Structure 1
Amino acid sequence: MYFVEWLTWLAYIDPKEERDAFEKQHKKVKRKALYESDDLEMLESAKKPACNTPKSRGPVYLYNEHILEMRCGMWEAKRGLISLISATIIYTIAAFLFIAIKSLALLIKIAQNNYEEPYGSRLFIALFAIAIVLLISLPYLKYGLRITRLEMFTSRHLLIRFNRTTQQVYLHRPTYCGGIVTLPWHGVTSSHSDKKYAAAGSLGLPLDLMWQPSYAGALHPELVHVGKAANNYTEQQAEWEFIRRFMDEGPEGLPRPRITSHFPWPWQAFTPQFEGLTRYFRTSSRITKLGLVRADNQGLPWLSIDQRLKIRLFGTPKPPISG
């Protein structure tokens, strides 16, 4: 699903005046200054071992001596809503279009055979159906189709490829989400390289990787999420250590990950919704399990999309106090 990446890219290319006005109106996140010394410290930490048990939970699509290709994206568990809404709109357009065509066919038949039966009701139904089709389809084709494309009629996964031969990382994204980006491995940082960098509330999210603007070659940082949502910090550290060792030391000594096919199997649209909930499902009742899936789909209601991007840069916002 490309929805978060699409919104992030739109935020990157917004004019500076609009971004400044937005930040002035939304002063909910207390920014923490990020100094050059902090960047260097995180870069040095990213070169050190994070744990002794490297392991990738996947999905891994390609793995050999030179290449490691994994799933990349933040909101895999939120896939399906755009498709459901889009399918409803498309079905409505198709249904009224069918009614309009059927009514017009009957009107043509009446005109050709000189029947004396009344045709006023048929004409009204045909005109009404055509009006509904135009009223829905024109705005949808102009504004809604590009949002539908974020999930439907396209690949359902973003990809990230680590090439240890060239020491480059490639983010495979559609052109309307920024396109393919090439980043240097030596400029990567992660909040899971050391516990002191871990952001509060990061459990239930995949491993995060980040490149500062000076390494990203742009005026904005590159923040990506790799692999499955984690059940605990240990899983996130193990995932990071697996990637770090592959790029810095090679695949020797690493446990071979299970290879996932690129073929879009139907269950791949549902399994991500259960990632990050394994520890709860083992001991919970059936009613609790249903509640956990619902809570996972809702995420953090008080945390906006742009704030999620700022967590890694400026710290974690506090939830609003109710009552």
Structure 2
Amino acid sequence: MYLIEWGFWRMATESEAARKAYETELTAAEKRAKQNFYEGDLEEDIHFQTVSEKPNARGPVFAFNDTFIEMRCGGSEEKRGLITIATLGGIVPVIGATTISTLCFLWDDITDSEARSFLMMTLTFIMALASTATLYLYSKYGVNLTRLEMLTSRHLLIRFNRVTQQVHLHRPKYCGGIVTFPWKTTGSTAIAPEDDSLSVGMRLGLVWHPSRTGLPHMEMALLGKQGQGGSELRDEWEFIRRYMEEGPHAVPRPRLSTQLPSPIQAFSAQFEGLGRFFRNSSWLFKVILLMVWPAFVIIGTGHWLSLLLCWRPRWPKVIREAGMPGKPVPPVTTLSDYPPAIQERLLANADRWQLKPGKRPEKKSRKPRRSKSKEEPAAPTE
């Protein structure tokens, strides 16, 4: 499911009217939080020093060689299958039933003159309206949601090319499309050890800020599996960093995954990030999980169906050949690579990513307030 990427791209290309409507609903505290980013924060997130002594790629990794490493992206892969179930189990049967019924009524009105009547023609008209309305509503509002996990690329991909020192993102156009960035403009969310406790259920996040890329919008990629706490995300970032900075010999060779629609991937995705939590949980929680196993089976089946109904993503030729002897280096993505209408909207929302100069000011420590009961009584005056 590409819901996070789709929503992020919609925010970057939001119309003026939609943005004003959204901002009017924000509280004063939310507006301050959106504008509370400093240049110093970016400097801390973009550095390439060692952050872990145990580099590890948690996967899925689709390719690993001397030229590039390719991994899976996607911010909500564990939820994939819900839209497929709703579409195949609800929307498609409704559209099919109304369409077939309309055609049957219409055929009877044309071929059976004896059964033709005002009532039958009225029913035919009503069924035609119902089927037309269903198709219209689905084509206008439902198709965009369906294509978040059906009839689209099977996976979002990220490729780190060590030879050209570039990072490539492969996404559908409605999620931002295929883009290329210099490796040195990449920022990571998994750098500070004090943030390790926040990695439970989170994925490794990579960001490309406009101040580094020259684009008017920020790009984001959520890699691999959900974290289970500790330093897993830092280990994964260290794996990527060492591969790009030092080469494939500096990291352990990862286990490769298939890009075919594997049922193992479909069912295992639901349990990403739960392993350590499940081992340390109480016996009552384990019993509850065993009781709801049918829900995992249903969602896993929907996930597998969504993989079957998608196609394997394919990189452009210039990216496939990047790093080979005598082949050109792929051009870095610029604003001119987007259609004029998208350029206009990206520029209109460029102020979302502006940074405040300098470093974030340190929070002032508040002195504890003394209660009145602890205050010493004043000395009596004569």
- TM-score, length of structure 2 as denominator length: 0.68
Report the Cα distance in structure 1 between the residues aligned to 2:123 and 2:275, rounded to whole angstroms: 53
Alpha-carbon distance, 1:211 to partner: 1.7
Question: Structure 1 residues 281, 200: closer, same or farther in 2, change over 3 A?
Answer: closer
Query: Structure 1 stretch 121-130 or stretch 51-60: which is displaced more?
Result: 121-130
User: 2:199, 2:233 within 8 Å by CA — same for their partners in 1?
Assistant: no
Does structure 1 residue 142 correspond to structure 2 residue 137?
no
Give SS of 2:150's match. Answer: coil
User: 1:209, 1:223 within 8 Å by CA — same for their partners in 2?
Assistant: yes
Question: Structure 1 residues 104, 16: closer, same or farther in 2, change over 3 A?
Answer: closer
Alpha-carbon distance, 1:8 to partner: 0.9
Give SS of 1:68's match. Answer: strand
Question: Structure 1 residues 192, 36: closer, same or farther in 2, change over 3 A?
Answer: same
Alpha-carbon distance, 1:123 to partner: 3.8
User: 2:169, 2:180 within 8 Å by CA — same for their partners in 1?
Assistant: yes
Report the Cα distance in structure 2 between the residues aligned to 1:103 and 1:18, rounded to whole angstroms: 43
Structure 1 match to 2:57: 56
> Which of 37, 40, 52 is residue 34 of structure 1 equivalent to?
37
Report the Cα distance in structure 1 between the residues aligned to 2:202 and 2:239, rounded to whole angstroms: 17
Question: Structure 1 residues 106, 20: closer, same or farther in 2, change over 3 A?
Answer: closer
Report the Cα distance in structure 2 between the residues aligned to 1:148 and 1:123, rounded to whole angstroms: 34
- Cα RMSD after superposing both structures: 2.9
Counterpart amino acid of 2:2?
Y
User: 2:71, 2:158 within 8 Å by CA — same for their partners in 1?
Assistant: yes
Report the Cα distance in structure 1 between the residues aligned to 2:145 and 2:64, rounded to whole angstroms: 32
Give SS of 2:70's match. Answer: strand
Give SS of 1:233's match. Answer: coil
Counterpart amino acid of 1:13?
T
Does structure 1 residue 108 correspond to structure 2 residue 110?
yes
Does structure 1 residue 7 correspond to structure 2 residue 7?
yes
Report the Cα distance in structure 2 between the residues aligned to 1:109 and 1:268, rounded to whole angstroms: 52
Counterpart amino acid of 1:14?
E
Question: Structure 1 residues 291, 94: closer, same or farther in 2, change over 3 A?
Answer: closer
Question: Structure 1 residues 105, 185: closer, same or farther in 2, change over 3 A?
Answer: same
Counterpart amino acid of 1:65?
D
Report the Cα distance in structure 2 between the residues aligned to 1:219 and 1:128, rounded to whole angstroms: 50
Alpha-carbon distance, 1:247 to partner: 0.6
- TM-score, length of structure 1 as denominator length: 0.80
Structure 1 segments unaligned to the other structure (5+ residues): 298-308, 315-323
Q: Deviations over 1:282-311 (max 9, x none)?
A: 3552314567989xx9xxxxxxxxxxx99x
> Which of 224, 245, 250 is residue 242 of structure 2 equivalent to?
245
Structure 2 segments unaligned to the other structure (5+ residues): 300-351, 361-382
Question: Structure 1 residues 281, 94: closer, same or farther in 2, change over 3 A?
Answer: same
Question: Structure 1 residues 86, 288: closer, same or farther in 2, change over 3 A?
Answer: closer
Alpha-carbon distance, 1:95 to partner: 0.9
Question: Structure 1 residues 189, 291: closer, same or farther in 2, change over 3 A?
Answer: farther
Report the Cα distance in structure 2 between the residues aligned to 1:200 and 1:68, rounded to whole angstroms: 28
Report the Cα distance in structure 1 between the residues aligned to 2:197 and 2:215, rounded to whole angstroms: 28
> Which of 189, 192, 212 is residue 187 of structure 2 equivalent to?
189
Structure 2 match to 1:204: 201
Structure 1 match to 2:267: 270
Counterpart amino acid of 1:149?
R
Number of residue-to-residue matches in the alignment: 292
Q: What percent of counterpart residues are identical?
A: 39
Report the Cα distance in structure 2 between the residues aligned to 1:244 and 1:157, rounded to whole angstroms: 23
Report the Cα distance in structure 2 between the residues aligned to 1:104 and 1:15, rounded to whole angstroms: 43
Alpha-carbon distance, 1:217 to partner: 2.5
Q: Deviations over 1:139-158 (max 9, x none)?
A: 22123212211211112321
